[in-house]
Structure 1
């Protein structure tokens, strides 16, 4: 009786949260973050438990076969939904239908050749393997695509490990004791249903929390980036610098102010659409040329900014020339343009600065150097008038003071 009540509560939780996930997915226009697939997973598992109640006990019937297929298809749906949540391309209907058809055929084969115990043991064993694969995926995600959700992923890994262990134990009990292990009010089944009911209560709100976390991060990222180039804006740069200089390994940084030469002439001659294409092109060149860990931003108009972290004067010199030559060398291909467009940039470099509070001072130094570079002919790198250490050696294609 107790187990039947637990399974009934489990059905209610799964089906109610299936509706909630579906409603959330309808609000997420474009990227649904896998919520529609999570809804399908809950729906499949909820109906599987409804069919189990209707079945009344272990037996070979159409209801039992559909119950087993739904039970195995549910974790597959959760797995595919999780992949979509993390932005990984994952088809849904084709693999889900392939699993359903294959497992249905396997049930018939095992039932006729090995009997009902083997069929129920197959479900527990396959479920244990699926959840083990999910745990491995989560652990891998903590180190790769889900680094920003470390605590949440560890939490999910622990919970999913519990389902994996319980299914593995059920498999062994079925092999040792036969169908008696599936008695509804047996101690093991009670523990199993209590754990599953707890998961059905805890996991759905946790998934909603992950969605809210991702939406909040997306809004924060949107507020910190320039919409045209997707580089950091002034706010994003300030926040990133604050985080960097608050770390124990922070060393003085250099600031490079980058200005597109004769950008007003480009806009006036070719139009604002071409001007925007030039801005996006320069942003892409800068993004590809800077080192990992450096900060790249657009601070307005045709002005860009690079902050070199963990570098010395020689490294900054090499980076600045790499950026300047890359912009000069790579043409801007525009739609409808008869010939590719070339542009150049002038850069002003600051003295090293050792804190977020010194950012504005470094900006002023780099801005003064930039204007000297413009006055000296453009397409050059201009260094601060008073630099710490030896000035860089002039190299081909660049100018220094």
Structure 2
């Protein structure tokens, strides 16, 4: 009786969260983030438990075959939903139908060849195997595609691993004790249903929390990026620098300020669409030229920024030269133009700085250097001038300041 109540409560939880997941997916028309598949998994598992209650005792029937098939199709739906959540465009209906038909056929073959005990053992064994694969996928995700969700993924791995262990134990009990191991009021089955009821209560809200966190992260990312080029904007650069300098033993940073030469003439001659294409082209050159870990941004108009970490004065000049040469070497095709357009850029380089609060000073230094580069003929690199000593300072202090700020 207790087990029946637990299974009934589990069915109610699963079907209620099915509706909730569907409502969430309706509010996410462009990017459902797997919510529709999580709803499908909940529905399949809830329906399987309803059929189990209707079936009563283990038996060979169409209801039993459907029950087993839905029980195994549910984790497949969850796994596909998780892949969708992490941005993988995986097919759904063909794999689900193929898996369901294959398992229904396997049930018939095992029932006729080995008997009912083997069929019920196969269900527990396959469940343990599927949840083991899911657990390993989550563990792999902690180290690769889900590093930003480390704690959440560890929690899911523990919960899913628990299901795997319980199904493995059930498999052994069926093999050794036959169908008597499936009596609903046995101590093991009670423990199994208590654990599943707990998961049915805890996991769906946890999935919703993950979706809300991902949506919040997406909004924060949109606020930190330039909508045209997807490079960091001024706010994004400042936030990324704060993270860098808050780390222990953070190295100084250097700033490059890049301006496309004669950009207004390009806009006036070829139109704003051509100008937008030029901006996107330069953004891509910048993105592919800077080193991994450096920051690339657009701060407005035709001005771009690269903030280089873990380098020195010589390294920043080498990077600036590679960037200037790459822009000059790569022509861009413009619509309604019979020839490829060649670009040049002028780059100003700041002194090194050691805090996020110094970003504005570094930009002013690079901007002054950029202005000198424009005045000197464009398509060139200029470094910030050394700071002049304050005459009012003691001589030793002035020399120390000059040495500190000199490249």
Contact (CA 8 Å) 2:334, 2:340: kept in 1 or not? yes
Matched ranges for 1:2-401 at <5 A: 2-386=2-386
Q: Give 1:317 deviation, angstroms.
A: 1.4
Q: Secondary structure at the match of 1:341?
A: coil
Contact preservation (8 Å) 2:55, 2:64: yes
Q: Deviations over 1:129-174 (max 9, x none)?
A: 0000001000100011000000000000000000000000000000
CA distance in 2 between partners of 1:339 and 1:29 (Å): 42
Offset from partner CA, 1:283-312 (integer Å, 9 cap, x none) = 010000000110111001000011011101
Contact in 1 for aligned 2:10/2:200 (Cα 8 Å):
yes
Aligned residues: 392
The structural deviation recorded for 1:334 is 3.0
Q: Is the 8 A contact 2:349 2:383 kept in 1?
A: yes
Deviations 1:37-95 (A, max 9, x none): 11000010010000001101100000000000000000000000000000012111111
Q: Secondary structure at the match of 1:348?
A: strand
Range moving further from structure 2, 60-69 or 348-357:
348-357
Cα separation, 1, equivalents of 2:302 and 2:260: 6
Residue 354 of structure 1 and its aligned partner are, at CA, apart by 1.1
**SS of residue matched to 2:342:** coil
Measured after TM superposition, the shift of residue 391 of structure 1 is 8.8
Residues 215-246 of structure 1 show CA distances to partners (whole Å, capped at 9, x for unaligned) of: 00000000000001000001111111111111
Rounded to whole Å, the distance in 1 between the matches of 2:33 and 2:335 is 34
Q: Determine the C-alpha separation between the residues in 2 that align with 1:268 and 1:390.
A: 41
Measured in 2, the distance between the counterparts of 1:390 and 1:41 equals 61
Structure 2 contact 228–280 (Cα < 8 Å) conserved = yes
Partners of 2:333 and 2:126 lie apart in 1 by 54
1:244-287, Cα deviation, whole Å (9 max, x unpaired): 11111211111100000000000000000110010011001000
SS in 1 for 2:298: strand
Moved more, 333-342 or 194-203: 333-342
2:346 aligned counterpart, secondary structure: strand
2: CA distance, partners of 1:14 / 1:340? 60
TM-score (normalizing by structure 1): 0.96
Cα 1:166–1:336 shift into 2, 3 Å: farther
Distance in 1 of aligned mates of 2:11 and 2:356: 54
1:306-332 Cα shifts (integer Å, max 9, x gaps): 101110112111111111111111112
Quote how far apart the aligned CAs of 1:335 are.
3.7
Matched residues in 1 for 2:32 and 2:187: separation? Answer: 40
Q: CA deviation at 1:337?
A: 3.3
Q: Give the TM-score of the pair, scaled to structure 2.
A: 0.95
Contact 2:38 2:77 in 1 (8 A): yes
**SS in structure 2 at match of 1:245:** helix
Change (3 A) 1:323 1:20: same
Is the CA contact (8 Å cut-off) linking 2:11 and 2:46 kept in structure 1?
yes
* 8 A contact 2:349–2:382 mirrored in 1: yes
Segments of structure 1 that go 5 or more residues without pairing to the other structure are: 393-401
Measured on the aligned residues, the alpha-carbon RMSD in Å equals: 1.3
Distance in structure 2 (CA, Å) of the matches to 1:320 and 1:389: 22
* Counterpart in the other structure of 1:395: none
Cα pair distance change 1:100/1:311, threshold 3 Å:
same
**Structure 2 SS opposite 1:352:** coil
Task: Provide, for residues 195-214 of structure 1, a one-character-per-residue CA deviation record: whole Å limited to 9, x for no partner.
Answer: 00000000000000000000
Equivalent residue, structure 2, for 1:399: none
